[in-house]
A = this chain, B = another copy of it.
């Protein structure tokens, strides 16, 4: 443990502080203009970039693990841990917007025109992050942004294009989930039947309900019909395919059913980590969406608008983006397809035994 090697490590050299702390060159200094807050602008953006590097580093390892033919239980636990870390970083980094906002719009004005045309947040790392998460091209960066990039940055983007995405890795891992189907058990059929029972019970309740008027009865039954048809689109491969073609679903049917199975039976030891993994992925996706919205708000605060009330077109563009750029919306939206644990069908013994520990079955 104690070491006697000669090349002892020296703190500021190890951290390469001669690079990191000597990388701040305000344009206002060059132009001989007083703009105290440009230092804050530079350092905040550098801190974002540092943390994005860390997020990319973790994401890379998660994709590698989940892309493997066979993922060990311990490795899933590792992925969960790293996704949580990624989310913590994202969450903390939002505080950096609050710090940047201690610079007012007028203070930004002092050097904003010196940054032309770079005044926005043009992070290549962030674009690559979006790609590696699996954000589809049509929802991604505008072509203009790509054109403006210098070659070394374009290269980074092109390299990323060939690589596996988290979306693909998760989908493939989900599709490998065992236990949804055995010789005498079909998960989705059991589930469909339980769901169908609850709807039947709801319909009977309405029919027997004394206070309701006929009109109210019709409305309630329609709402139940609608809900049931949503569920059925999940169970029927054909309907599901149509939804995919219309662009309303993106995750494969098989992977979607597996995600549902894992959530419903997560109390079994073997599904504990897989369930945590789904939660962690949705958590990161959600936090990234809030991050985008928070970024849009800051932009609005800083550069305002010369157009209408309630915000610049820039703000609206960024904010809408926050809405649309969910990568794992298909998993998050499954929350609407759950039923209470107390009416969830039990697993057959042949399966439930295999979901426990050797130790527990001894």
Contacts and interface: CB of A to CB of B under 8 A. Distances in A.
Nearest to A324: B310
A144 interface: no
B353 A333 contact: no
A304 B336 contact: yes
Copies, count: 4
B2 A220 contact: yes
Interface in A77-126: 77, 81, 84-85, 88-89, 91-92, 95-96, 98-99, 101-102, 104-106, 109-110, 112-118, 120, 122-125
A236 to B, nearest CB: 14
B202 A109 contact: no
Nearest to A209: B4
A123 B22 contact: no
A99 B92 contact: yes
Interface in A285-303: 286, 289-290, 293-294, 297, 300-303
Contact of A102 (B13, B84, B106, B248): B84
A25 B21 contact: no
A15 B46 contact: yes
Contact of A329 (B1, B47, B109, B309): B309
Query: What DSSP secondary structure best describes chain A's contact surface?
Result: helix
Interface in A1-42: 1-6, 8-17, 19-25, 27, 33, 36, 39-40, 42
A182 interface: no
Interface residues of A, number: 157
A335 B47 contact: no
Contacts of A88: 95, 98-99, 102
Interface stretch (A157-165, A166-174, A184-192, A354-362): A354-362
A109 B69 CA distance: 30
Given A4-B205, A98-B88, A357 B39 contact: no
A322 interface: yes
The 10 closest A-B pairs by CB, nearest first: A304-B335, A304-B336, A230-B306, A105-B335, A16-B23, A310-B329, A305-B333, A248-B308, A11-B122, A92-B95
Contacts of A51: 43, 47
Contacts of A199: 1
A154 B77 CA distance: 45
A13 to B, nearest CB: 8
A282 to B, nearest CB: 7
